[in-house]
C-alpha cells in the first residue's frame, strides 16, 4: 500500500508537469491551428536560462525565476514575429515544418553551448517541503512540482476566463473571422499565444530541473510527451490537456513501478496510437465534420 501511495504521488506530480507543458501547446494550436514541434526545445531553453542565472550569475532564486519567465516571454514574441508572421496565409504544412526546423536549430545551438552533459540546479528547496509518512518519502522537488503545477494551472484558468486578453484568445480560437469583425487584433493574439506558450514551457523546464536535473536530450524528449497528452485530452481543449497530463503521468509511473521502467517510457506513445485509432479527437476535443 505504501509503495502504491508513493507511486501515486509521484505520478500526480509528473502529471501536473505534463499538463502544464501541454497547456502552452494547446494555446498555440487553438489560436493558429499550428502543431508546435519546437515545444520541447522551448522547455529546454527556459531550464538552461534559469541554470545560467542561478549558477554562473549567482542571482537570488526568485530573481532567476522572474528573469527566466520574462526572457522566455520575449523569446515567444520574437519567434512569432520573425519566423511565424511572414508565413501567415501560407499552407499549414509549411508553418508546421518551420517549427520542426526551429526545433532542430534550437537543439543544435543548445548542444553546441552545453553539450550533452547533465547539470543539476543548486540545492535551494527547503527540506521542510518533503513529505515523510512511514515508508513513504516524497522529495521536496516533487512536492514543489505538484504545488507549482496546481498554482500555474489555476492562474492560467482564471486568465482565460476573466481577463480581456484571455477572452480575445478564446474568441480567436473559436472563430478567427468573427473575432476580426469584432475588432480583435488577431496577429497580436497570435504573438501573445506564442509568448505565453514559451513562458509555460520555461516553467515546465524549471520544474523538471528541480526534479531530475537538466540535459538537452532529456528535456527535448519530454517535449515529445506533450503529443500523447494533447491527443488524449483533445488538441483544442485546455481542460483536456490537464486531464490528459494527469492520466499519462499516472500511467507512466505505475507502469514503470509495477512492470518495467523501459515500458513506462513507451506507454505514453502506446496510448497515443490507441487514441488515434479509436477516438482521434481525444476525450474532450471538438469533432469537426467536413462536407464536400
Task: Quote the pLDDT of residue 283.
Answer: 79
What's the whole-number mean pLDDT along residues 14-27? 84
Task: Quote the pLDDT of residue 227.
Answer: 87
pLDDT value at 18 more than 80: yes
Tell me if 200 sits within 8 A of 76, measured CB to CB: no
Summarize pLDDT for 209-240 with one digit per residue, the tens.
888 889 998 888 888 888 889 888 888 777 88
Residue 141 bridge partners (DSSP): none
pLDDT value at 189 more than 90: no
Q: Is the model more confident about 271 or about 90?
A: 271
Task: Quote the pLDDT of residue 69.
Answer: 92
Task: Quote the pLDDT of residue 287.
Answer: 62
Summarize pLDDT for 21-74 with one digit per residue, the tens.
888 888 788 777 788 899 999 999 999 999 999 888 888 888 999 999 999 999
* Mean pLDDT across the chain: 84
pLDDT band with cut points at 50, 70 and 90 for residue 174: low
pLDDT band with cut points at 50, 70 and 90 for residue 288: low
DSSP letter string, 195-260: HHHHHHHHHHHHHHHHHH-B-HHHHHHHHHTHHHHHHHH-TT-HHHHHHHHHHHHHHHHHHHHHT-
Of 40-49, 127-136, 211-220, 273-282, highest mean pLDDT: 40-49
Structural domain boundaries in the chain: 2-224
Q: Cell for 263?
A: 515500458
Q: What is the pTM of this model?
A: 0.86
- Please report, to the nearest 10 degrees, the dihedral formed by the alpha carbons of residues 230, 28, 157, 138 taken in order: 50
Q: Considering only CA atoms, which of 182, 253, 266, 273 is closest in space to residue 10?
A: 253
What's the start-to-end Cα distance of the chain, in Å?
56
Q: Is the model more confident about 100 or about 135?
A: 100
pLDDT band with cut points at 50, 70 and 90 for residue 104: very high
pLDDT value at 290 more than 90: no
Task: Quote the pLDDT of residue 70.
Answer: 94
Q: Cell for 129?
A: 517541503
Amino acid at each position: 500500500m505504501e509503495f502504491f501511495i508513493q507511486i501515486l504521488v509521484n505520478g500526480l506530480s509528473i502529471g501536473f508537469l505534463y499538463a502544464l507543458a501541454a497547456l502552452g501547446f494547446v494555446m498555440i494550436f487553438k489560436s493558429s491551428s499550428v502543431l508546435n514541434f519546437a515545444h520541447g526545445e522551448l522547455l529546454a531553453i527556459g531550464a538552461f536560462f534559469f541554470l545560467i542565472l542561478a549558477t554562473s550569475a549567482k542571482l537570488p532564486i526568485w530573481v532567476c525565476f522572474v528573469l527566466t519567465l520574462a526572457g522566455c516571454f520575449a523569446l515567444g514574441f520574437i519567434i512569432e514575429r520573425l519566423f511565424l508572421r511572414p508565413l501567415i496565409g501560407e499552407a499549414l504544412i509549411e508553418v508546421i515544418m518551420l517549427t520542426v526546423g526551429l526545433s532542430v536549430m534550437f537543439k543544435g545551438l543548445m548542444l553546441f553551448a552545453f553539450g550533452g552533459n547533465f547539470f543539476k540546479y543548486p540545492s535551494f528547496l527547503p527540506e521542510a517541503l518533503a513529505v515523510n509518512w512511514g515508508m513513504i518519502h516524497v522529495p521536496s522537488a516533487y512536492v514543489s512540482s505538484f504545488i507549482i503545477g496546481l498554482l500555474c494551472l489555476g492562474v492560467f484558468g482564471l486568465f482565460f476566463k476573466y481577463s480581456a486578453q484571455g477572452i480575445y484568445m478564446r474568441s480567436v480560437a473559436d472563430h478567427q473571422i468573427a473575432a476580426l469583425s469584432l475588432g480583435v487584433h488577431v496577429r497580436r493574439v497570435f504573438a501573445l499565444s506564442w509568448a505565453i506558450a514559451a513562458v509555460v514551457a520555461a516553467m515546465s523546464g524549471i520544474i523538471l530541473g528541480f526534479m531530475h536535473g537538466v540535459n538537452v536530450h532529456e528535456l527535448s524528449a519530454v517535449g515529445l510527451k506533450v503529443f500523447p497528452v494533447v491527443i488524449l485530452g483533445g488538441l483544442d481543449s485546455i481542460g483536456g490537456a490537464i486531464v490528459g497530463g494527469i492520466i499519462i503521468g499516472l500511467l507512466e509511473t505505475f507502469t514503470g513501478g509495477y512492470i518495467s521502467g523501459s515500458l513506462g517510457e513507451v506507454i505514453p506513445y502506446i496510448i497515443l496510437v490507441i487514441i488515434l485509432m479509436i477516438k482521434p479527437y481525444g476525450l474532450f476535443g471538438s469533432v469537426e465534420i467536413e462536407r464536400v
